Structure 1
Amino acid sequence: MSKTKKMLDPDPRVMDFSTEYELGQDNIRPFGLDLHNPVFLVSAIVIVGFVMVALANQEAAASFFGWFRPFLTSTFDWFLMLSVNIMVVFCFFLALSPLGKVKIGGKDAVPDYSYAGWIAMLFSAGIGIGLLFFGVLEPMYYSIPELNTLPLGSDPSLPGNENMGIVGTVYHWGISGWAVYVVVGLCLAIFCYNLGLPLTLRSAFYPIFGERVWGWPGHVIDTLAVFATLFGLTTSLGLGAQQVAAGLNDVFGIPVSSSLVVWLILGITAIALGSVLLGMDAGVKRLSEINMIMAACLFVFVLLVGPTFDLIAQFGGVLKDYVVAFVPLSNPFGRDDLGYMHGWTTFYWAWWIAWSPFVGMFIARISKGRTVREFILCVLIAPSLVCALWMTVFGGLALDQLANGYTGAKDVVVAYQPELSLFRMLDQLPLYNIIAPISLVLIVIFFVTSSDSGSLVIDTITAGGKMDAPVAQRVFWCTFEGLVAIALLLGGGLNALQGAAVSMGIPFTLVVLAMCYCLYKALRSERQKI
């Protein structure tokens, strides 16, 4: 037996150790809780402290994050972009190699969810509110020369560049971002369902640390994963709250204020808490399916009332231009479009990476019974195509309105009121008084599905990989997701939200790159069993 196979096979010695670990060798149980020590304690204390300090020093926090985010994205641009490029190549290598035949859970494993339910859950968790918040904003932003964010410096007003605003958006929501989720999700799934280790980030590092992964090296990895997940998630929650507040003002005339945003976060967090208490099947799965149905209905409506055939034809052109521009957009060196790369691309890659423990673990949890090739094709390709189609229709319609003389969406983008861009596009369509409230409900459900699934994931990490930790812990994390979002919004607004995500995404990039190595070793071992 090879050294790699000995290291990775769940032999009795390893299984005995992981079983002791899962039963709570390192856990404490005050008040009937199951807290993994010290991951829960360190994470909880730091998060509580962060909320208190940010709320008590809002002006200082705003000033700090206003400097911090652009510093990070301009300093670590090359590192983030090269890392994501490596993950994309690695994913295609796995899918095309014989390792793609390995089945998550072993050769006799069967899927727990249908294709429809599975894809709905991974899509809702992986996208969150991004489609609704950025679907109009980004294509419009990249199409306004005076904002200095033209992708590759290509002025869309010039012949041959008409699609570049949308292509620049699709690049950020396409296979590069989803490749990050594939690496983390597939790695966790293989180590949990095939090798019998707990469903937590540290398990993936058994090939590197051996049994030491249950000690401090593992504590550090899991704690970093909690911070990355929490700050990546609260960025989306904060953006969603701002968009709901703007929509309430636009549709119902309710004044926008910090108090309104805070109450929205508290209210929607309470709804998410109810979904968490219902569990995966009754809560998260059902909301995800409702979410997908409503999103599909909104998409079809916008497509049909807009220039339908032009938008469908444009989608083909966007895909073609995306393929052509993919390598230049992925190049981190010698770029002339630094406004686009620093202001958007490097932030996005840090944000996707910060989200990866949450989405990766969630996808791993629902993907038993799928082959590696099936996993990669569904998680990497299908959502990327859906995102591209969504951005083409919503962004393309807004740009079509601009070409025909309507400047509403452009005006709010130039004024950088991003939360209004969707509503400025919708208000030119029929039935706005009906469609706008439906869009608000959809944003809220996206908000809820991100929060409840994120709470389940953080709870799993801090409970040492257990999937049935006490309810009180889920309540704690769901509650503090909302409180962190409030603290960031009041202590710096959008800059604070984005700065928090980037600050955790950069160090966690090293973790994800190491997981590529560990996943390759595990799949080689599993391939020998087929």
Structure 2
Amino acid sequence: MTPPETLYDTDYEVGQDNIQAMGMDIHNPVFGVSAALILMFVVGTLMMPEEAKVAFEGARTWSINTFDWLFLGAGNIFVIFCLMLVVLPVGSVRLGGEDARPDFTLTSWFAMLFAAGMGIGLMFWSVAEPVAYYTGWYHTPLNVLPNTPEATGTAMGATMFHWGLHPWAIYAVVGLSLAFFAYNKGLPLTVRSAFYPLVQDRSWGWFGNTIDVVAVLATIFGLATSLGLGARQAAGGLEFLFGIPADINTQIAIIVAVTSVAVISVVRGLDGGVKVLSNINMVMAIMLLLFVFLTGSTLALVNGLWSTTVAYVQTIVPLSLWFGREDEAFMHGWTVFYWAWWISWSPFVGMFIARVSRGRTVRQFIVAVLLVPTLVTIVWMTVFGGSGLEQVQQGIGALANGLGNDESQAMFQMLASLPLASITSFVAICLVLVFFITSSDSGSLVIDSITAGGKLDAPVPQRIFWAVMEGVIAAVLLFVGGASALKALQAASVTVGLPFTLVLLAMCVTLYLGLSHERKYVIGKG
């Protein structure tokens, strides 16, 4: 029986191509090329924000409209592949070997998964998205007539489709691949390592460098975009609650504050930083969820848990198809855009999940990363989205007229019609900010690892550098280029999702090959 270390025999050593200077430990080609491309993008966008917006949005639209079949088909493959790993014998393989034990408790592990994965988006869209679909704010799923009883179920089903199994399967494929090849095969914790079974030592050459550079760009652009969008929502909440103008100065002040706390968290590391903040996140989110559940229409929300689940099951197949669709505008404007966005975020979220998942079996990993978050999201969307829909249908509060021109205030408008609105709105603002801090923190750790050639213990100044860069990019683009520059950045992030879709499909193949070999070796050893 060929041992795993023979199958993956390589002369490469982590850090052999690194340069140590000024307190940094950088992987020469990846760090240099990534930094140069980021600088070129920022300078070019600042010099010509409108032109950059048009160019990148054109690239995004072309990617989405031309390759809708690839995005949707790949998303379905990822879900099926992950579910197969749960039931196949390879599900018993343990990340890190048979003797490995988890580095974090189950509660802390799950809190970090959720905070890094999509806590931000759930705060922004949990009310806005169901209301948008129900009222026909920007295209309707499956061409259902807006403001009808049928539109209620379709709105909740489509929302769950975008935040349920498919996005978490994307994260699971990347996270599991990186964790397995790093902890079981001794390869560096970078995206390139997942391709070693196919390309062998070319993983350490230009091919691997290219993959890691794309991963860095996708991560930094995605995080900077989210910082900008999150600053917009937090500023909207401050304006709604305290009357503070949600202008550019307020948004930049929020970015500076979030970045400052993220730097402190990065310095403290995983245990003292991300884990602590993620646990705080989880407690605050549960408290807000229970408050809305108990002070809203509790009985209707209880019934809504079942109806949302049924609607999700009923819509998941028709929404997964890319042919025979009469709602192409919705499919391209929402679903394919989301899939490209999740895929562009997958290097960041997947690598962070890999960093905190040593000691778990493949089956435990898939259940925790795919199934449990989907169930939690059903509860979250039912409580917040269901409450928002009820206010729209009954003509209550600001949501009686729909979303208007600012979807970022939907959460606060829903809370305003419940008791203790000032307190809950303040909690929601804090929750948004802490979610952004954990995303910035974990993203910095990920970029740091990639640009250090897979090292997990790169110098602290290097982590600080990337945390600051995320905030600087978002703040500078907002201040100089405004909304146009931010939209250009978002479009660039989504465009990166196209080539990375092929990377993820290849990961499915290499991961299964590696898991099969590992299980045979363990059985033969026993």
Query: Under TM normalisation by the shorter chain, which class is it?
Result: over 0.9
Are the equivalent residues in 1 in contact too, given 2:173–2:504 (CA < 8 A)? yes
Deviation per residue, 1:480-500 (Å, 9 max, x gap): 111222355425166334312
Q: How many Å separate the matches in 2 of 1:12 and 1:166?
A: 47
Match of 1:106 in 2: 97
Taking a change above 3 Å as real, the CA distance of residues 109 and 430 of structure 1, as seen in their structure-2 partners, is same
Q: Does 1:241 align with 2:231?
A: yes
Q: How many Å separate the matches in 2 of 1:358 and 1:104?
A: 19
Are the equivalent residues in 2 in contact too, given 1:70–1:343 (CA < 8 A)? no
Taking a change above 3 Å as real, the CA distance of residues 75 and 486 of structure 1, as seen in their structure-2 partners, is farther
Taking a change above 3 Å as real, the CA distance of residues 13 and 197 of structure 1, as seen in their structure-2 partners, is closer
Question: Residue 143 of structure 2 is aligned with which of 140, 150, 153?
Answer: 153
Match of 1:47 in 2: 38
Matched-pair identity in %: 50
SS of residue in 1 equivalent to 2:391:
helix
Are the equivalent residues in 2 in contact too, given 1:412–1:420 (CA < 8 A)? no
How far is 1:144 from its partner? 1.1
How far is 1:64 from its partner? 3.3
Between 1:160-169 and 1:469-478, the stretch displaced more is 160-169
SS of residue in 2 equivalent to 1:422:
helix
SS of residue in 2 equivalent to 1:106:
coil
Deviation per residue, 1:182-223 (Å, 9 max, x gap): 100000111011111111111111111111211111101111
Q: How many Å separate the matches in 2 of 1:63 and 1:211?
A: 40
Match of 1:434 in 2: 423
Question: Residue 506 of structure 1 is aligned with which of 495, 498, 502?
Answer: 498
Q: How does 1:13-32 map to 2 (within 5 A)?
A: 14=9, 17-18=11-12, 21-22=13-14, 24-32=15-23
Question: Residue 435 of structure 2 is aligned with which of 430, 434, 446?
Answer: 446
Taking a change above 3 Å as real, the CA distance of residues 408 and 13 of structure 1, as seen in their structure-2 partners, is closer
Match of 1:136 in 2: 127
SS of residue in 2 equivalent to 1:274:
helix
Question: Residue 11 of structure 1 is aligned with which of 6, 10, 13?
Answer: 6
How far is 1:407 from its partner? 5.8
Q: Does 1:526 align with 2:521?
A: no
Matching residue's letter, 2:98: K
Match of 2:48 in 1: 57
Q: Does 1:478 align with 2:467?
A: yes
Q: Does 1:342 align with 2:332?
A: yes
Deviation per residue, 1:124-157 (Å, 9 max, x gap): 0001311110011100000013x35221122364
Q: How many Å separate the matches in 1 of 2:247 and 2:402?
A: 18
Are the equivalent residues in 2 in contact too, given 1:188–1:361 (CA < 8 A)? yes
Are the equivalent residues in 1 in contact too, given 2:135–2:402 (CA < 8 A)? no
How far is 1:62 from its partner? 3.5
Match of 2:69 in 1: 78
Are the equivalent residues in 2 in contact too, given 1:409–1:422 (CA < 8 A)? no
Are the equivalent residues in 1 in contact too, given 2:188–2:454 (CA < 8 A)? yes
SS of residue in 2 equivalent to 1:413:
coil
Are the equivalent residues in 2 in contact too, given 1:137–1:418 (CA < 8 A)? yes
Taking a change above 3 Å as real, the CA distance of residues 148 and 275 of structure 1, as seen in their structure-2 partners, is closer
Between 1:61-70 and 1:500-509, the stretch displaced more is 61-70
Taking a change above 3 Å as real, the CA distance of residues 93 and 419 of structure 1, as seen in their structure-2 partners, is same
Q: How many Å separate the matches in 2 of 1:81 and 1:487?
A: 34
How far is 1:410 from its partner? 5.6
Match of 1:163 in 2: 153
Deviation per residue, 1:391-448 (Å, 9 max, x gap): 1111110110111112622646232x11111111111111111111111111100010
SS of residue in 1 equivalent to 2:113:
helix
Question: Residue 373 of structure 1 is aligned with which of 354, 363, 370?
Answer: 363
SS of residue in 1 equivalent to 2:371:
helix
Taking a change above 3 Å as real, the CA distance of residues 124 and 466 of structure 1, as seen in their structure-2 partners, is same
Are the equivalent residues in 2 in contact too, given 1:248–1:254 (CA < 8 A)? yes
Matching residue's letter, 2:494: V
Matching residue's letter, 1:334: G
Match of 1:94 in 2: 85
Question: Residue 195 of structure 1 is aligned with which of 180, 185, 192?
Answer: 185
Question: Residue 127 of structure 1 is aligned with which of 118, 126, 130?
Answer: 118
How far is 1:264 from its partner? 1.5
Matching residue's letter, 2:173: V
Q: List structure 1 segments (4+ residues) > 6 angstroms apart after TM superposition.
A: none
CA RMSD of aligned residues (A): 1.7
Q: How many Å separate the matches in 1 of 2:309 and 2:7?
A: 50
Question: 5+ unaligned residues in a row in structure 1: which ranges?
Answer: none
Match of 2:207 in 1: 217
How far is 1:509 from its partner? 0.8
Match of 1:302 in 2: 292
Q: How many Å separate the matches in 1 of 2:153 and 2:483?
A: 37
Taking a change above 3 Å as real, the CA distance of residues 288 and 478 of structure 1, as seen in their structure-2 partners, is same
Are the equivalent residues in 2 in contact too, given 1:51–1:483 (CA < 8 A)? no
Q: How many Å separate the matches in 2 of 1:165 and 1:235?
A: 26
Deviation per residue, 1:449-488 (Å, 9 max, x gap): 0000000000000000101101111111111111222355
Match of 1:325 in 2: 315
Matching residue's letter, 2:61: P
Q: How many Å separate the matches in 2 of 1:191 and 1:61?
A: 38
Are the equivalent residues in 1 in contact too, given 2:64–2:337 (CA < 8 A)? yes
Deviation per residue, 1:347-384 (Å, 9 max, x gap): 11111111111111111111111111111011000111
Q: How many Å separate the matches in 1 of 2:161 and 2:489?
A: 22
Matching residue's letter, 1:14: D
SS of residue in 1 equivalent to 2:403:
helix
Question: Residue 60 of structure 2 is aligned with which of 53, 62, 69?
Answer: 69
Question: Residue 496 of structure 1 is aligned with which of 488, 495, 504?
Answer: 488
Q: How many Å separate the matches in 2 of 1:418 and 1:73?
A: 23
Taking a change above 3 Å as real, the CA distance of residues 258 and 443 of structure 1, as seen in their structure-2 partners, is same
Taking a change above 3 Å as real, the CA distance of residues 430 and 480 of structure 1, as seen in their structure-2 partners, is same
Match of 1:226 in 2: 216
Q: How many Å separate the matches in 1 of 2:421 and 2:400?
A: 19
Q: Does 1:421 align with 2:410?
A: yes
Taking a change above 3 Å as real, the CA distance of residues 497 and 404 of structure 1, as seen in their structure-2 partners, is farther
How far is 1:232 from its partner? 2.1
Are the equivalent residues in 2 in contact too, given 1:109–1:368 (CA < 8 A)? yes
SS of residue in 1 equivalent to 2:457:
coil
SS of residue in 2 equivalent to 1:29:
strand
Q: Does 1:36 align with 2:24?
A: no
Taking a change above 3 Å as real, the CA distance of residues 11 and 410 of structure 1, as seen in their structure-2 partners, is farther
Q: Does 1:391 align with 2:381?
A: yes
Are the equivalent residues in 2 in contact too, given 1:191–1:197 (CA < 8 A)? yes
Q: How many Å separate the matches in 2 of 1:398 and 1:383?
A: 22
Q: How many Å separate the matches in 1 of 2:356 and 2:196?
A: 22
Q: TM-score, normalised by structure 1?
A: 0.94
Matching residue's letter, 1:174: G
Taking a change above 3 Å as real, the CA distance of residues 388 and 234 of structure 1, as seen in their structure-2 partners, is farther
Taking a change above 3 Å as real, the CA distance of residues 299 and 525 of structure 1, as seen in their structure-2 partners, is same
Are the equivalent residues in 2 in contact too, given 1:54–1:487 (CA < 8 A)? no
Between 1:482-491 and 1:102-111, the stretch displaced more is 482-491
Are the equivalent residues in 2 in contact too, given 1:156–1:163 (CA < 8 A)? no
